[in-house]
Amino acid sequence: MVEWTNPMEGFMKFNVDGAASGCPGEAGIGGILRNSVGETKMMFSKAIGRGDANLAEVLAIRQAFMMFAASNWNESHFLVIESDSFNAVSWIKSPSQAPWRMRKWILQIETLKRKVKKWEIIHVRREANQQADSLAKAGIGRATDLVNFWTEVRDSASAGNGNLR
Domain residues for 27? 11-143
Look at residue 152 in the predicted model and tell me its pLDDT: 62
What are 66-111's pLDDT values in tens digits? 999 999 999 999 999 999 999 999 999 999 999 999 999 999 999 9
pTM: 0.89
Q: Does residue 93 lie within any of the structural domains?
A: yes
Q: Which residues of the chain have pLDDT under 70?
A: 1, 152-165
Look at residue 23 in the predicted model and tell me its pLDDT: 86
Q: Does residue 112 lie within any of the structural domains?
A: yes
Q: Does residue 165 lie within any of the structural domains?
A: no
Q: Does residue 41 lie within any of the structural domains?
A: yes
Q: Does residue 153 lie within any of the structural domains?
A: no
Q: Does residue 40 lie within any of the structural domains?
A: yes
Tally of domains in the chain: 1
Using alpha carbons only, give the angle 137, 143, 147 rounded to the nearest 5 degrees.
70
CATH number of the domain enclosing 128? 3.30.420.10
CA–CA gap between residue 76 and residue 44 (Å, rounded): 22
Q: Does residue 42 lie within any of the structural domains?
A: yes
Q: Does residue 158 lie within any of the structural domains?
A: no
